[in-house]
């Protein structure tokens, strides 16, 4: 009898186990992409360009706008009659120039010639000539072509410089980069590293006017006070780059948003529907002059500040310490409601972006990403720290700013990040239980 009871007990137990623990298995799937919603564009530190526009529309002056975004600073006259060296193409193999519309011509010099010196040139060439400069084993080889003339080969040298006539606009091209330059001079230099060499191309011109005429940061159609605020901020930013040549770019400053967007003569010559908007920007630059050697600059205690700026925010500008770790009393963050106004900021008051699995994995240096969490946020509710998890359980954590830069998201103001966001992808695998006619799924 006891043996029969034990057998019945075993059968019941087996049945219950079959019901309560079905033969199902959970597998983690790897999402093809991740969706992000947010607001604003840029790092968020300093002046909001959209905010400057909004305040200008409300009647604020350039000085009032700058005083708002950089509390405790003043807009004062400051010497700016400096030469600035701007990288217009970097880590490339070749670049070419020619005189736009064949007007005028250019002069070629062997070497990296200081803008203040006038040595004997290698040669002078008319507007029909195109010069191509190619990097080869730590030296630069010029190659000249023209529909009306032939030229002998030119020996390689470590660097070459060109200057041009005042009537000439130089058309420049290197890979997918192109530009138009009216002022200054252009240098082509081979930069050597421990394993290779590459071509760095720079233009050297006056900061006071020639450089600022080419800053392409905001539309020239914006209100005059917003344009003037941008001019003064750009000048102040550039003044902090003078005096040091960065070896990797042979420059003081990059022509991209690594520093400031410099587009050369294209800004001054800007036209929309045949309307000359470029003159509006040039006039805004001119209005900030005190004289030929001094202009308006943002200062504290008589020194130019670090005038960081960006496009638009998620409603407040950032405290620099939360973004980059440094501390400045004038970069603690202020309300920026204009960035959330769809009439003023139609493109970035709200945005939606998809980040592919491949880019997400590359961003976090993981084999794949199955989930992520927002671990910390700033006082402005932007992402301060974010972690990702791979299918094999590995974890990688980044700062919000590094995450934004690598994924190319517009900003770190990602919505729904007031609490950790967890995205977990699980395939529910179902299997019918053979003891109990019911479908049970792994959760």
pLDDT, residue 273, reads 84
Whether pLDDT at 437 is above 60: no
The residue with greater pLDDT, 2 or 379, is 379
pLDDT at 8: 46
pLDDT band, residue 327 (cuts 50/70/90): very high
Lowest mean pLDDT among 15-19, 275-279, 328-332: 15-19
Q: 432: pLDDT confidence band, cut at 50, 70 and 90?
A: very low
Output the CA torsion 413→417→420→423 (10° steps).
-90
Please determine, for residue 19, whether its predicted confidence score (pLDDT) is greater than 50. no
> Residues 390, 393, 394, 396: is their CA dihedral positive or negative?
positive
Q: What mean pLDDT comes out for the span 110-138? A: 96
Distances (CA, A) of 271 to 151, 221, 275, 357, 388: 37, 10, 5, 41, 46
Find the largest Cα–Cα distance for the chain: 118
* pLDDT computed for residue 29 by the predictor: 86
Identify the band that residue 126 occupies on the pLDDT scale cut at 50, 70 and 90: very high
List the structure tokens of 112: 């990296």
Instruction: Provide the phi-psi class of 53: left if phi over 0, else alpha when psi is between -120 and 50, else beta.
Output: alpha
Categorize the per-residue pLDDT at 416 as very low, low, confident or very high, splitting at 50, 70 and 90.
low
Percent of the chain with pLDDT over 70: 88
Alpha carbon distance 58, 436 (integer Å): 73
Span 300-326, pLDDT tens digits: 999 999 999 999 999 999 999 999 999
pLDDT tier at 10, thresholds 50, 70, 90 = very low
Q: Is the pLDDT of residue 365 over 50?
A: yes
CA distances from 283 to 181, 190, 277, 293 (A): 19, 37, 10, 17
pLDDT at 347 over 80: yes
What local confidence, expressed as pLDDT, does residue 187 receive? Answer: 98
Strand positions, DSSP E, 322-412 = 351-356, 371-377, 383-389, 395-399
The mean pLDDT of 75-89, rounded to a whole number, is 98
Contact 103, 121 (CB under 8 A): no
Distance CA 367, CA 396 (A): 11
Q: Are 310 and 49 in contact (CB under 8 A)?
A: yes
Residue 265, class by beta-carbon neighbours within 10 Å (0-12 exposed, 13-18 middle, 19+ buried)? buried
Is 67 a residue whose pLDDT tops 70?
A: yes
On the question of pLDDT at 436 being above 80, the answer is no
Domains of the chain, residue spans: 28-39+350-427, 83-223+239-287
Q: Nearest-CA neighbor of 345 among 235, 186, 226?
A: 226
Does the pLDDT of residue 62 top 90, yes or no?
Answer: yes
Task: Determine the average pLDDT of the residues in 374-397.
Answer: 94
Q: What's the pLDDT tens digit per position in 227-270?
A: 999 999 999 999 999 989 999 999 999 999 999 999 999 999 99
Q: What is the pLDDT of residue 415?
A: 82
Q: 195-222, pLDDT tens digit by residue?
A: 999 999 999 999 999 999 999 999 999 9
Output DSSP code: residue 381. S
- For the cut 90, the answer to whether the pLDDT of residue 177 exceeds it is yes
Tokens of 32: 């093809």
What does the pLDDT read at residue 236? Answer: 98
Query: What is the pLDDT confidence band of residue 27, given thresholds at 50, 70 and 90?
Result: low
What is the rounded average pLDDT for all residues in the chain? 89
pLDDT digits over 142-170, tens only?
A: 999 999 999 999 999 999 999 999 999 99
Tokens 């939606």 -> residue: 352
Task: Note the pLDDT of residue 428.
Answer: 35
């Amino acid at each position: 009898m006891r043996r029969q009871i034990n057998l019945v007990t075993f059968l019941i137990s087996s049945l219950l186990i079959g019901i309560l623990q079905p033969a199902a298995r959970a597998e983690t799937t790897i999402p093809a992409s991740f969706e992000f919603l947010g607001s604003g564009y840029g790092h968020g530190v300093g002046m909001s360009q959209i905010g400057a526009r909004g305040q200008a529309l409300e009647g604020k002056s350039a000085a009032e706008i700058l005083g708002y975004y950089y509390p405790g600073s003043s807009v004062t006259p400051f010497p700016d009659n400096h030469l600035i060296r701007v990288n217009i193409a970097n880590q490339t193999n070749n670049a070419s120039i020619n005189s736009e519309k064949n007007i005028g011509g250019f002069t070629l010099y062997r070497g990296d010639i200081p803008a203040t010196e006038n040595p004997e040139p290698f040669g002078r060439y008319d507007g029909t000539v195109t010069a191509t400069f190619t990097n080869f084993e730590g030296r630069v080889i010029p190659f000249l072509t023209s529909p009306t003339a032939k030229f002998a080969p030119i020996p390689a040298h470590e660097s070459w410089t060109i200057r041009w006539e005042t009537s000439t606009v130089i058309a420049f091209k290197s890979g997918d980069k192109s530009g138009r330059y009216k002022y200054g001079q252009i240098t082509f230099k081979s930069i050597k590293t421990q394993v290779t060499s590459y071509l760095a191309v720079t233009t050297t011109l006056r900061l006071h006017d020639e450089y600022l005429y080419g800053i392409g940061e905001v539309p020239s159609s914006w209100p005059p006070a917003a344009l003037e605020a941008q001019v003064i901020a750009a000048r102040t930013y550039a003044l902090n780059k003078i005096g040091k040549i960065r070896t990797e770019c042979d420059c003081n400053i990059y022509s991209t948003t690594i520093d400031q967007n410099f587009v050369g003569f294209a800004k001054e010559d800007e036209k929309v529907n045949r309307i000359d908007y470029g003159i509006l920007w040039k006039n805004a630059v001119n209005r900030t002059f005190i004289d030929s050697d001094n202009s308006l600059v943002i200062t504290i205690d008589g020194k130019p500040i670090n005038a960081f700026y960006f496009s638009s925010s998620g409603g407040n500008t950032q405290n620099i310490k939360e973004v980059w770790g440094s501390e400045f009393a004038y970069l603690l963050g202020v309300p920026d409601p204009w960035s959330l106004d769809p009439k003023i900021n139609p493109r970035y008051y709200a945005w939606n972006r998809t980040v592919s699995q491949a880019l997400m994995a590359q961003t976090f240096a993981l084999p794949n990403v199955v989930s992520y969490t927002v671990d910390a946020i700033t006082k402005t509710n932007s992402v301060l720290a974010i972690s990702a998890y791979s299918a094999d359980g590995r974890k990688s954590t980044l700062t919000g700013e590094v995450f934004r830069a690598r994924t190319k998201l517009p900003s770190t103001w990602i919505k729904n990040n007031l609490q950790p966001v967890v995205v977990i992808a699980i395939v529910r695998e179902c299997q019918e239980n053979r003891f109990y006619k019911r479908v049970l799924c792994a959760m």
